[in-house]
Structure 1
């Protein structure tokens, strides 16, 4: 994003906003959209210090901290948002993701289910349940059910078929997992992680560690605060 595009993005976000806090959060979101999370955090910190009662700001900060691999700070920001707006599923899902990365799997699963309870028709939260359970290395049948629900809610999203394939593979259903990966790749042919998973399943590649990838979006790919690390579940260690 060029400087001109950044200014346009800020202008679009700020349009209609009135308070300094709203404008500050909008500007931080524009910086985050520019894939400059460090600058976004630096801009957002004094905004939240001056007005710590804005949940949207803490949700954005939590996403920024995840991208910066500052997981403890991400969890703290998510918890601040939850305290302000307990029924917002985004902060619950972000907290779940942070807890997974911290190895606190029971809490991660609980937070993910809380997000589903709040917004049961959002595939993202079912996907988070699936990955929380996979990371906990248990209840694979429940993980598969959650992944299948996500596919049913958004049948045109490649990532959910990928998740479903991973859960089916964990259950030992190789043929069904292969089909899920193939559908995922049909929808998103250039996804290297899905390509590798399918190759491993077909015996064409050795299973190895999968690296994290930055720059995609998660926890709602629509709306002003819909920025964050990209589908990090695909790259879960």
Structure 2
């Protein structure tokens, strides 16, 4: 890249596999279906739990998973914030999960475009889903079957206008993550995303979370400032 060109406002997305995912996923599947049955089963093509999952269940599988979640959130947050953290002298940083929930979907169930509030980082962990090759054979959904799609910050500028060869880089307005069991995706909470329609033999089961990171003495160093 030309060193005179500044690439500003990056959008970091971490995609990482949990090495203990196979064992953890089996326990999570059991736990989540147990709740689904207690709630009377699926009433449509998507079931969403309450977002107090960590308060309601004391599960070794959840504890193991969120140990991995914590290290992964810090990994991407440090990559983006390390110079600022050093300048502010934040001390020991702490991650707070302010919401965790699971979703089960099938039979063309989907979650429309949205983002998350009251947090700096969000994530999705794939607990159960059909293998990639099998999903892509779907006669209607094909390669889009059950993927997670992220949308560019410039999406609202792309309504058929503002396009010439000078800004062709804006044509990449989406980024698709192909779900696989045991894979975690961490992304900025403000980033628009969507769970595309899914249809398969296995239910698509994911665990999502919202997280904040705070300094040891609070966030006083980040008072609103327009200088």
What's the TM-score once normalised by structure 2's chain length? 0.22
Bigger Rg over Cα: 2
What's the TM-score once normalised by structure 1's chain length? 0.21
Larger RCO of the pair (alpha carbons < 8 Å, separation 6+) = 2
User: Higher helix fraction: Structure 1 or Structure 2?
Assistant: 1
User: Higher strand fraction: Structure 1 or Structure 2?
Assistant: 2
